[in-house]
Every structure is written in structure tokens, then in C-alpha cells.
Amino acid sequence: MNFDNKEEELRKQVIKAAVQYYNEVHKKKNSFKFKSGDTIPYAGRVFDEREIVNLIDASLDFWLTTGRYARQFEKEFAKFLGVKYCLLTNSGSSANLLAFMALTSPLLGERRIRRGDEVITVACSFPTTVAPIIQYGAVPVFLDVELPSYNIDCSMLEEALSEKTKAVMIAHTLGNPFNLQIIKEFCDRHGLWLIEDNCDALGSRYYYDGKWRYTGTIGDIGTSSFYPPHHITMGEGGAVYTNNPLLKRIIESLRDWGRDCWCPSGKDNTCCKRFEQQLGELPYGYDHKYIYSHFGYNLKVTDMQAAVGCAQIEKIPQFVIARKQNWEKLREGLRSLKHYFILPEPAENSDPSWFGFLLTVKKDAPFTRKEIIKYLESNGIQTRMLFAGNIVKHPCFDELRESGTGYRIVGELKNTDYILNNTFWIGVYPGLTEDMINFIVSKFYEFTNVFKGELK
């Protein structure tokens, strides 16, 4: 037996053993029957032997950085979304960082974002949607959100606009698309960039320009996260996608140390001009692999992570269906409690792939958010806040608030502050079973029955 045949045979044996391990360990753990007292997670990874096979296969290559699986994922994910370019990165936070920093590139000329320029966003957000703006030295302009969509109040857009406005950067809240029709028209009318933070909305669709399109693909740049609670996972990981070839080039440069070269890892002289160029003030023929056109980072994903992602891509359609079904079951099951809670509603012209089920305790409810979530948690039902609630009120803003120059607020953040004090969410992820959902619904009624008759 020659070396290649022996290697292939050994690989098959290792993978076969790994599949056996999955069947004996993970499959049995994941096939338990829910009983009262068990924890119902707000989210979690859902996988089978295919993820294990890919992970082991990639590890046997021992190609520890970006490689063949990463290239496969980028190609297949772009195809799924219907975009030209997809670039993998090591997290959704890094994806947002790359998306924003791409818009500061000198290659964009007059449209580049400079320090002191403004970016419209919302205060009811996850920190990493806002952090890149502040860290660069641009100014976030915070708008309120609407209920029950929990998305940006578009009526405030024109008031938020100034001569310094360069972009809009917002997320689709828990999978519910913001009003892309209005916001895209606003951006086009004023020559603004639009970044769609799509980290919580993979598989959500919006009816735009006469057809259904995936969220994240209508603006200039979209981002995704593959952290375990998200729609698909590779452990840590994220993606940035665009149809703009110049933005693709900039994002790739920033992700890969800021280099000017676009050779993939392990490849040399893709441009066939590696030693035949003169750029900047460098000597003619300086190695193109070590020429830097941006102040960049190393934010690449490992091939083992990408290998897991490649197996997860195949499951996106079934995951989306499961999330929708679980959301609908909760919505129907809790419908009778609408006098206690503001129940979530899908945005107009949208088909959400839900990340969670949002509830807001009404002003005249005879109980508080703290009381209901304490009861749910004591019964093993995990709950989560709507991320920062109001990011401006967090300690990280203390210094900016004291300086008086770090951000702007347009109008009042009434809904944002109400959400900060009264909103929470529970899971809809594909790992939930019928018994779990029924148990969740029963505990809501069990809790609210104590207060029946107290609401006028």
C-alpha cells in the first residue's frame, strides 16, 4: 500500500470512529425526553455527525489557518444569500468591525468616513454594532425604536441627518427586518452607506424592488455571526458580504493584516507581479505579499471552524423553518396574555427568521419584568434582555457622556428606555421540542393566573 492510499485508509478509520463517538455520546445526549425540572435554553447549537466528520477531516489536514473549507464556505454562503462576495472572519463582532472600517478606506475618496463624521444607528442595540463607530472616532447618532417591531423609528431619519452624516448602521432586531424600503431610499437619496447587521437574522427575507431578498443583501454591506446561539454556528466565526468589488477588496485587505496582496493563505504570486511593482515610496520590486494598503488586522477564521460551518450551511432551510414554527407556537400559545404583554409582530413586507420571542410587560400589568423572569428562570426557562436595552446608559458611555462630544441623540428615547426596563425574550431555536414549548406556555399562564382579575 502506497503512502496516499494508507493516509486515506487511516483517515476513513479516524472519521468512522468519530461518527461512532457522535452516535454513542452526542446523539444520546440530544435525544433525551424533556421533563419538568430540565433547563430550556434560550439558544444552542444543533448538529449531527456531519459537523463531526468535517471537523475531524479538517483537523487531520492540520492546516490550522484559513484553507479549503473556508473557501468552500465563502462560496456556498454567498450562493445561498445571492451575493457576489463573502469573506469569513473570526466573529460577528469582527464582521461589524470590518464592515465599518471598510467605509473609512482612502480608496473610497470623498465617500469615505472620516473621524468626526456621523453614523445613524439606534441605542437599543448590541454593543458591537456601535463599538466600531466610536473606536474609530466617528459619531453615532442614536434614534429611538418602535414597538412592537423593536426596530428603528424611520420618522426620525430626516431630523437625524446632518452635513456630517455618512452612513446608517443598524441591526435587524432578533430576526425582524427593519424597514429596508424607507431606509434604503433615505440612504440613496442622501448618498449614504448602509450596513445591515444581519447577525440575528440569517434567513430573514424582505420584499424589496419587486422580489423577496435575504436581509443583509440590500444594503452596501451585510454581516453575520456564527457564535453558538445564532442561526448556524462554527463556534466562533462571522462573515461580511457585499456585491461591491471595491468594498470586497478593502474588507479582504483589512481582515488580512491590511496587506495589498490578495493571495490566499499558502499561495504565492497570484497576481504574477509579486516582484514587479512599485507602490507608495517602496523600492521597485518589493515583495507584494508584504505591502500594506490599510492599517488592518488578522481576523481570519480557522479551517476547522469553517469545516463545521460547511455542514451547518446545509441545515439553514430546516433551521429557519423550525425557528418560524416555534415562534408561531409561542405567539399562538401566549395570545391570550396580550393584556399583560406587548407581543411581537413581524414587520410589514417581511418574512422573519426569528432569533427569539420578545415580550414587553405593559405599563398597567400587575407584575414587573423582574418578577416574571425570576419565575421563569426558577422553572428552568432561560430568558435574556434585549441586549444593551439602552447602550447609552451603560458604564462604557460614562467617559463619552462626560466629554459631551462622543455621540448625539435625536428626539427622546422613550421606547428604548421602556424596553430597557420592561422587555425580555425567550428562545425559538431549532432544539426546542413540542413538550418544551408547551411547558413554557404553561408557566406563563401559571404565573399570570395569580394576577387574574387585578387588571382593569
Catalytic residues: 230
CA 440 to chain centre: 26
What is the residue type of 13? Q
172: nearest Cα among 211, 219, 139: 219
DSSP string for 241-296: EES-HHHHHHHHHHHBTTBS--PPTT---TTS-TTS---TTSPTT--GGG-BSS--
DSSP character at residue 339: T
Q: How far apart are the first and last CA of the chain?
A: 83
In which residue are the cell numbers 411581537 written?
344
In terms of DSSP bridges, do strands 165-171 and 205-208 run parallel, antiparallel, or are they unpaired? unpaired
Chain length of the chain: 456
How far is 255 from 101, CA to CA, in rounded Å? Answer: 10
How far is 435 from 91, CA to CA, in rounded Å? Answer: 33
Using CB atoms within 10 Å of the CB of residue 298, give its burial: 0 to 12 exposed, 13 to 18 middle, 19+ buried. Answer: exposed
Looking at 278-420, which runs of residues are DSSP E strands?
341-342, 350-351, 356-361, 408-409
How far is 368 from 378, CA to CA, in rounded Å? Answer: 16
